[in-house]
Amino acid sequence: MSANEYDVTCDEGVVFALGEEEVAAVCDRVLAEEGVTRPCMVSVSLVADERIRQINAEWRGVDAATDVVSLECERPDDPALAPGEPCELGDIVLAPAYVARQAAAFGTTEADESRLLLVHGLLHLLGHDHLDEASAEAMEAREDALLALVHTDGTLDRVVITRHREEEGA
């Protein structure tokens, strides 16, 4: 059993390609691979396109629906946290209907796209970003490496992730 805690909430009528157990397994693996040893709490909110549009407008100043928005709370290496105190990393907000359309457009499955965006969102909570070419390349390489570790059915080649470079601060 993981020391990490995950609160997965799904708005009414929203369907997600991954189950809660896989969400936890993916997050656990990413946190472990990123060297996070402090117990963490992560919220994963599955919302409709309109709701993520509102969140994107409020938090990023972009009045448009998107696939994922990460809302950071604390960092595991924050010196203000007492030893052993859990870190409240933040919230990963995903829009499964948007993700499904995006998967079709990029020729991936909804599950693969969902794993990618879960990894992407969690890396943002851990401080990774893609605001310039060098950081985008580093983040993409890390996403590729992590996806290879968390993919469960062996069919994944390389998920197209360079599309995030066009979204400043996604």
Residue-by-residue pLDDT tens, the chain, 170 positions: 679 999 999 999 999 999 999 999 999 999 999 999 999 999 999 999 999 999 999 999 999 999 999 999 999 989 999 988 999 999 999 999 999 999 999 888 899 899 999 999 999 999 988 888 888 888 888 998 898 888 755 444 445 444 444 444 44
Looking at the chain, list the stretches that DSSP marks H as alpha helix, in order from N- to C-terminal side.
20-33, 49-60, 96-106, 110-125, 133-150
Q: Say what the pLDDT of residue 162 is.
A: 43
Q: Say what the pLDDT of residue 156 is.
A: 47
Q: Are 106 and 56 in contact (CB under 8 A)?
A: no
Q: Say what the pLDDT of residue 14 is.
A: 95
Containing structural domain, residue 12: 5-166
CATH number at residue 56: 3.40.390.30
Q: How far apart are CA 9 and CA 93, in angstroms?
A: 10
Enter the pTM of the model: 0.88
Q: How many domains does the chain have?
A: 1
